[in-house]
Amino acid sequence: MSDALSLLQQRHSVPSRQLGEPVPDESTLRALLEAAIRVPDHGKLVPFRLIQMQGEAKLRFGERMTALVIRNKPELSDSKREKERLRYTFAPLVLVIVACIDEESSVPPIEQTLTAGCVAQNLLIGAYALGFGAQWLTGWAAYDREAAAVLGLASNEHVVGFMHLGTPQIDVPDRDRPALDDLLSTWTP
């Protein structure tokens, strides 16, 4: 079997709480990001962008998200408030993958969003190929317009995911995978 297929068959997510230092150095991260943006892109719209968060910025973002949650749910328990505050702090690097929808384009918005999703998938595969771990998470903040405003997103932009990156701190067992025979059918006229 080819190394490329083996890589795909072995890739798995590493929980953000299990990701630590080191992260890719600057040149390796740049190479990873340049590879990740090589995606199918109907109309060559480049309907995505990336936002990087490291260090203190991750905690500050979590604090801003916590303030939004508390404003909408003042009864939120202290433990859930703390969970929100720390949500983005475990992995040393968080990349926000943003879909930038060109609403004037004849390319359907779903195709543009899928292109941004391909960037996220390439980040997962690329991180694994380089010996790093990653987890693609969303959560409520990915779908909240006030959270989008905190990130500086325009009205035509939305978060596809928060990619948590670092080095796995433990061996993570693979999860059960679906059987291909349960998913594959053959269309006949």
Amino acid identity, position 136: W
pLDDT of residue 91 exceeding 90, the answer is yes
3 confidence band (pLDDT: 50, 70, 90): confident
**Residue of 35, 39, 50 lying closest to 111 (CA atoms):** 39
pTM for this prediction:
0.95
pLDDT of residue 1 exceeding 70, the answer is no
- Summary mean pLDDT of the chain: 96
Q: What tens digit of pLDDT does each residue of 14-57 get?
A: 999 999 999 999 999 999 999 999 999 999 999 999 999 999 99
Domains and CATH numbers, the chain: 12-55+89-169 (3.40.109.10)
pLDDT at 4: 81
Q: Both ends of the chain: CA-CA distance in Å?
A: 34
User: Which has more pLDDT, 5 or 4?
Assistant: 5
pLDDT at 67: 97
CA angle 129, 132, 137 (to 5 degrees): 105
